Structure 1
Amino acid sequence: MIPLQRQPLPEELTARLLARGERLPEYRGGARELWRDSRTIRRDLSGHLVAMAAGLSRCMYCGDSEGTSIDHFQPIAVAPHRAFDWLNHLWACAYCNSNQKRDLYPVDRQGRALLLDPTADEPADHLDLVLVTGAYRPRTAKGRETIRIFGLDRPVLERGRAQAYVRCRSMLRDLAHLAEQREYAEAAAVTHALAVQPFADVLYEMLRLRTAPRAALVFGAETVAGLETLMGPRFASKRGPIRSR
């Protein structure tokens, strides 16, 4: 999971969301039925969420599968009044949404969410990613519940992240070499490929750790050079949502 920047919606779509929300108290079928009946709104919201998502329309939770639908971060069953709240909408794959999260929404004793919202939280504050194994380790209660609810410890995801780490290291070494040789067109293509691949959390974690004292020893000097090249101004437009704090 990586942090994602939520963009403001066009005024026209915001107005339609507000109007739908105002209908909630009087709608006989309830919030869930009104949401299902709002096909045009759901279509338009999907386009904005896809634009925010990492990679090629990847799920904002697992980062592996293609996103297929809008998830209500705070479920309609828990907070029907937020059914049309833009700040409550995320892009999710069918597995994370329907098989894992469903209507689950754990909270602490103060009623605060114990799930990570990638548009509001910094996941690295709550989760450690072990790059070699692809496993997540919780740093906080919110991190622990996020792993549990979304099944981020599924073996298929851990294997996928571990392989993404191998792939990233190889591509970053290529990027460093191409930049050194001033083959900028091909370097830009590699940069774009890095940005749209699944498991953006792996590359994000590598970027976070690139300035650590042992980074060159752990990743290799060429890989670190590739990370620095990736973050340079020349390839900023190719990075998509990938950035590091």
Structure 2
Amino acid sequence: MIRLERAGLPPDTAEHLGTYTRQIEKTADSGRKAKAAELWSHTTVRRRVRGGLLATLADMAPGHQRCMYCGDSQGTDIDHFEPKSLAPTRTFEWLNHLLACAYCNSNQKRDAFPRSEEDGSPLLVDPTLEDPLDHLRLVLPLCTYKALTPQGEACIDVFGLNSRGVLVDGRRTAYETAKQSIELWRIAADRKQHDKAAKVVEVAWDRPLADVLAGMFHQSGHPAAELLFSGEEENLGLLRDQELRQAFLSRA
């Protein structure tokens, strides 16, 4: 997971979302769940809102429309961050929509929405509101996640971030590829090949599992960076190169 900026919706899509939200709010509390489900599955309603939602979410998503949760597979589903079965009045709320792959949406998350036992606040991280790096640390080079907070622990559990072998293996590959990318950028920059250097940055962020690259830059500034990158001093030196950091992080 990486930090994302929420974009504005097309005016007609936003208008339709507001109309359907008001219809649900006018329904008696006991019938709101059914009303929300009925509207969301209605052919006309989906035709009016789905295109605008998917297009905007795709523009916000990492890489080429990657899932906002696992960062690996292509995002195909409009996920309700707080499930519509639990919060029917938020079914058509733009701030409650994220782009997810079918596996994260239907196999992993489903209607799961853990809350803190202390204050009832959500434990899952919405990457458009919080920086996942505040809650999750990628253990390099194992490429598994360590929870820094209860929210991070919940994300690891709900999305299977460490239990899905394909994700862990994919991150290991992404880690090696990311190291090659920063080396290629330094070579191109030293040779004054500015267009080539810019392309290296673009491709690096567009690859699946861009959270690995984000985690590398984040951890290179950690007080214990020398320990975290033990045996990879050259890699750490590149990640701390201010010119290189500017080039990559301005694109993130």
Q: Say whether the fold is shared (TM-score over 0.5).
A: yes
> Is 2:177 the partner of 1:167?
yes
Q: Residue type matched to 1:4 in 2?
A: L
1:195 Cα offset (Å):
1.0
Structure 2, unpaired ranges of 5+: none
1:104 Cα offset (Å):
0.8
Post-superposition Cα deviations, 1:116-169, rounded to whole Å, max 9, x if no partner, equal: 111111211211111201101111111111111111111211111111111100
Alpha-carbon separation, structure 2, partners of 1:106 and 1:150: 12
Question: Which residue matches 1:31?
Answer: 36
Question: Which residue matches 1:48?
Answer: 56
Question: Which residue matches 1:221?
Answer: 234
Question: Which residue matches 1:200?
Answer: 210
* Contact 1:176–1:222 under 8 Å retained in 2: no
Question: Which residue matches 1:2?
Answer: 2
Q: Residue type matched to 1:21 in 2?
A: T
Percent sequence identity is 40
Of stretches 3-12 and 197-206 in structure 1, the one that deviates more from structure 2 is 3-12
Alpha-carbon separation, structure 2, partners of 1:223 and 1:185: 24
1:111 Cα offset (Å):
1.7
Change (3 A) 1:120 1:234: closer
Change (3 A) 1:224 1:32: farther
Post-superposition Cα deviations, 1:17-44, rounded to whole Å, max 9, x if no partner, equal: 1111111244895101201222220111
Change (3 A) 1:11 1:125: same
* Contact 2:6–2:128 under 8 Å retained in 1: yes
Q: Residue type matched to 1:13 in 2?
A: T
Alpha-carbon separation, structure 2, partners of 1:188 and 1:233: 8
Q: Could you say what the CA RMSD is over the residues aligned between the two structures, in angstroms?
A: 2.2
Alpha-carbon separation, structure 2, partners of 1:111 and 1:119: 20
SS of residue matched to 2:146? strand
TM-score normalised according to structure 2 size:
0.87
Q: Residue type matched to 2:18 in 1?
A: L
Alpha-carbon separation, structure 2, partners of 1:222 and 1:126: 24
SS of residue matched to 2:13? helix
Question: Which residue matches 2:14?
Answer: 14
SS of residue matched to 1:132? coil
Structure 1, unpaired ranges of 5+: none
1:224 Cα offset (Å):
3.9
Question: Which residue matches 2:114?
Answer: 106
> Is 2:72 the partner of 1:67?
no
Alpha-carbon separation, structure 2, partners of 1:49 and 1:131: 30
Question: Which residue matches 1:127?
Answer: 136
Change (3 A) 1:132 1:194: same
Question: Which residue matches 1:232?
Answer: 246
Alpha-carbon separation, structure 2, partners of 1:125 and 1:232: 21
Change (3 A) 1:56 1:223: farther
Q: Residue type matched to 2:145 in 1?
A: Y
Change (3 A) 1:83 1:202: same
Alpha-carbon separation, structure 2, partners of 1:156 and 1:22: 42
* Contact 1:191–1:230 under 8 Å retained in 2: no
* Contact 2:201–2:247 under 8 Å retained in 1: no
* Contact 2:220–2:236 under 8 Å retained in 1: no
TM-score normalised according to structure 1 size:
0.89
SS of residue matched to 2:38? helix
Alpha-carbon separation, structure 1, partners of 2:230 and 2:149: 28
* Contact 2:201–2:248 under 8 Å retained in 1: no
* Contact 2:115–2:122 under 8 Å retained in 1: yes
Equivalent residue pairs, number: 238
1:13 Cα offset (Å):
2.6
Q: Residue type matched to 2:211 in 1?
A: D
